[in-house]
Amino acid sequence: MITVNKILINHFGVPERSKKLPDPLDLLIATILSQNTNDNNSYKAFRSLKNKYKSWDELLHEKRSVIEKIIRVAGLALQKSSAIKNLITELDKRGNISLNFIQKFNNEKAIEELTSFKGIGVKTASCVLLFALDRNVCPVDTHVHRTTNRIGIVSAKTPDKTFYALNKNFPDGIAHSFHTNLIRLGREICKPAKPNCGACPLAEICKYPNKNLDNTSTGKKRDFMLLDNVGT
């Protein structure tokens, strides 16, 4: 993993990160909005919510259907508005509409707490740990799952299994660059149907048996990363 991280940094650079960590609840809501859409649309939906409500407390008495309309640009608005509304309602029942309480937990317990909310899975919970708590945890989305399995770092059938295999002995201090650069690799080069191995900086060490070495185009770059912009 350390070698892969170094090669990716040489190729893509050290990913930018805002100096101020975002609020964990902001980050969790942004991550819910980011599911199955691109970062630009989920950022628009997140900004629309932040502009309309001064604090998340105001969502407690807001109709779910109103939230659905506000976040429509992010897609899956019914499911996402339900998950957000449920999260706020549950936090209120626990006494405070905030996620600051998870700061005191270790990584395992924090993931257990976050995934106890309906609609919050391991990927979403681990994004909160990395991006809002600055823990050395690598979330596994579809890109990280595909690339780490192709490279041969892990061998796991689902993103959640990849997450636990990857994070078992994760090297210190590299989670943010490793995660972010693997997403860029997956979006721009190691695409699902046809990886562009001819343009891949990892081609020499990658164990994927079906490499496509024909095409050397580097593809279209998409640098904007939602979860690095939640606190800005």
- Residues with a catalytic annotation lie at 123
Q: Is 143 in the site for ligand SF4 (CB under 6 A)?
A: no
Residue 111 or 154: the one with the smaller Cβ distance to ligand SF4 is: 154
Both tokens of 212, joined, read 């496509």
Contact indicator for 217, 194 with CB cutoff of 8 Å: no
Q: Could you give the CA distance from residue 28 to residue 32 in angstroms, rounded to a whole number?
A: 6
Give, rounded to a whole angstrom, the gap between the first and last alpha carbons of the chain: 30
Of 92, 79, 71, 162, give the one whose Cα is nearest residue 118: 79
Q: Is 147 in the site for ligand SF4 (CB under 6 A)?
A: yes
Buried b (16+ CB within 10 A) or exposed e, 15-36: bebeeeebbbbbbbbbbbbbbe
Q: Is 208 in the site for ligand SF4 (CB under 6 A)?
A: yes
Name the minimum Å distance from CB 150 to ligand SF4.
Answer: 4
Q: Could you give the CA distance from residue 64 to residue 150 in angstroms, rounded to a whole number?
A: 41
Q: Is 202 in the site for ligand SF4 (CB under 6 A)?
A: yes
Q: Is 150 in the site for ligand SF4 (CB under 6 A)?
A: yes
Number of residues that bind ligand SF4 (CB under 6 A): 14
Name the minimum Å distance from CB 180 to ligand SF4.
Answer: 16
Contacting residue, 151, 174, 182, 226, with ligand SF4 by CB under 6 A: 151
Q: Is 34 in the site for ligand SF4 (CB under 6 A)?
A: no
Q: Could you give the CA distance from residue 139 to residue 126 in angstroms, rounded to a whole number?
A: 5
For binding to ligand SF4 (CB under 6 A), which residues are involved? 147, 150-151, 189-190, 195-197, 200, 202-203, 206, 208, 211
